[in-house]
Structure 1
Amino acid sequence: MKLNVTALAQLFARIALGLGFLLPVCDRLGFMGVPGSGKAAWGDWSHFVAYTHTLMPFTSLLTANIAGLLATIAEVVLGVCLIVGFKTKWMGLGAAIITLTFAVFMIASLGIAAPFNYPVFVFTGAGLLLFTQHSFRWSIDALLIKK
């Protein structure tokens, strides 16, 4: 069996992006450690919503809470679908859109360096690269095409 570097790169990008969405969700739900433990960025929902409100200071705390919930739902869907390879092309586009949106809010609220302190643009680029692909080996997409 010949090594297909593109297929391997896609798999790596899918898993890295997927975990990159799911681990922060685990953090905001308290599974990565308590606030201030050094193991978590937020540690619970209230700290996450406070950060969301920092990125969206023009909104109310309730609106930041709703935006945080919608982002969390989107991140769970994107993360799971990317890892298993379901609708990968469109999940890649979704990943690019959500991370680019996050970057814009970070720049507007925290300054130009903020998204560069995290791999926000790397996630955007990886999502866009997945969106440009037409087939995804080792994925549910590939299994569905074979049937």
Structure 2
Amino acid sequence: MKLRLTSFAQLFARIALGLGFLLPVFDRLGFLGAPGSAKVAWGDWSHFVAYTHQLMPFTNINTANIFGLLATIAECVLGVCLIVGYKVKWMGLGAAIITLTFAVFMILSLGISAPFNYPVFVFTGAGLLLYTHQNFRWSIDALLHNRKEF
């Protein structure tokens, strides 16, 4: 029973983290609604870059745009890989690093309570938990591992 629960918990964490990275990307690309719409944080790229610049006021807007693009690419890779279960251990570590970095910038720019208004540290912890595991049932990693045994 414990093995099944652990396998389900890992799958749940992978999907939740993966969607937690992909949905904000969809938001900043305008797929979830226009700026100012209910349940939309940014609604387009320019609003997202403005928020990135707010978190990184020591940069200019062009540099914030570059950091926003790099974060978006990383979040897409992390999100997809976590959902399909590819390199889960390392994607978990990447998820922890990117969310902890985000939390630090939130604290420095917006105050100590900012990352606690969102599940930023929960994402960091879930990523670290995935990193501590070796086997991931229902994943591409498991399929590749099983193929090597034959």
TM-score class normalised by the smaller sequence: over 0.9
SS in 2 for 1:96: helix
Q: Which residue type is aligned with residue 109 of structure 2?
A: S
Partner of 2:137: 137
Cross-structure match for 2:4: 4
Separation of aligned partners in 1, 2:22 and 2:77: 9
Gaps of 5+ in 1: none
Structure-2 separation of matches of 1:43 and 1:2: 42
> Do structure 1's residue 82 and structure 2's residue 92 form an aligned pair?
no
Structure 1 length-normalised TM:
0.98
Runs of 4+ in 1 over 2 A off after TM superposition: none
Bigger Cα displacement from structure 2, 37-46 vs 98-107: 37-46
Unmatched 5+ stretches in structure 2: none
Superposition deviation, residue 38 in structure 1: 1.3
Residue 30 in structure 1 maps to residue 66 in structure 2: no
Tell which deviates more after alignment, 115-124 or 30-39.
Answer: 30-39
1:39 Cα deviation after fit:
2.6
Amino acid paired to 2:53? H
Count of matched residue pairs: 147
Question: What's the CA shift string for 1:11-58, capped at 9, x where partnerless?
Answer: 000000000000000000000100011131000000000000000000
TM-score, L = length of structure 2:
0.96
The CA RMSD over aligned residues, in Å, is 1.2
**In structure 1, how many angstroms separate the alpha carbons of the residues matched to 2:24 and 2:73?**
12
Q: Does 2:103 align with 1:103?
A: yes
